[in-house]
Structure 1
């Protein structure tokens, strides 16, 4: 097993105050490994980065969602803003279901202004506000349309989850040997970081239902994430980019020509994902000089309400 490498550093007063280790792999247009750092072959948990493949599995099973905005929400880790919650609830209503059918945990919105309004109004936790509610609503819609039981839709042996497992294994090229439970309650399948990059490459190159999922996400990036989120910004600014974060410092992305990458921050730090994403795009030759992505590439460190340092990629980390 290859050890993780320093990927992101926190610099204050000219001194490195902290460092985030991790692993990353970049695939070229033909799917060959362009460059890699750290352990990219061992099984790891991709978390929510595989939501596009889960949405693809639902389409392959026979799910019909005429509005691609609903499909984008089905692959989302959203903020729980009103537009996210209302769309997830609408998917449930169209299939004769209510919030009570969801098996994801109740939560407060991740979007801070929305959460503050909820707290001020005394609104309690809601399953619809949980960041995976769109995926769960789409899963339930699939079950209703195909006549599958809805009560145990998260069981790893449910036909819905068996289809997801098969799709993830197929696109990643990895044999799945470890299954656990994700934070939202759905089955979570371990694959390699290289397999995750291959999965994203397949989402943008395979066409058909896979292409429809990718197009839905790229057309509706706000539904995939929300306000002030890296996925929203990246897919809005970089033409044709497919980007999806996952918990514990995981990130995967792919360009329309098939170049793809996957990143895992060893300590699970979410703040380290963005700088690495920008460095990956730089390595692919993408022009990211626009100011809109600067706040992702180098995140300021404040001291006494003044900028005193920066969080940035370690120079040469992906060289």
Structure 2
């Protein structure tokens, strides 16, 4: 969600709109010229009268033409203030753990995948706008070889790459359980609370020499391109950026049955969630018979970009604004 908010805000500002972020000051290093950050502390309970009053005071001072909320807490707070604000309100839903009835008060609700939008069927004015990213730099084969060598991965090894926070929801324990049934080397990019237990699991399965735990890497997008196959093993996703980065770098990907991969990939590249055997069977199948994803990759490269996402959001804003205010909405 943080990545989405920063990139969308920067893109809207670059398009000439005035964008104000009411958020934690830790965002400051990542925002570009044209985005104003007003530090705001959301730490108190969403039911705190003091927090609600502070937010109302800040919004009235800004006098925005559009209010766009990200995350359930911000959306619930703003929905409570609806009757006092009198401006169009938009909420983006990045993931759903429960029914969010307060979203009915919003003029538009964006789901970042079709799956999320379907779960918002009780909410009027729900639309799907896929996340987008800047088109990544495509690296050369020689650069891929150099990166593999830097991680001591043999050049002839079939390379599986998985990316994400090392947390239970990403299903990396299931991926490790699948690895004894397939050939090749697994590169895990990311860090998190499960790292020690995952390393211990790899030892106990006897596959530790075939697993590289690379931790957090600033060059993860480049390392992703070294993969013979990217694997998404998640139990739950709102929108998988890893899938999109794979598509836009023309890197083959398989996935468990999670958005947005299950909305775009052919069914033969999707397996059920929570099953290491199903994941291993899918991995074996694509090793034997790779699936040509050229058409899907080209379509994603044309449509699932940051520019397209920002244009779709701007069109939604314009639809909600009065005719005389459609040129320069605030966020």
- Asked if TM exceeds 0.5, the reply is no
Please identify which structure carries the higher helix content. 2
Please identify which structure carries the higher strand content. 1
What's the TM-score once normalised by structure 1's chain length?
0.25
What's the TM-score once normalised by structure 2's chain length?
0.24
Greater radius of gyration (CA): 2
**Which structure is richer in relative contact order (CA contacts within 8 A, separation 6 or more)?**
1
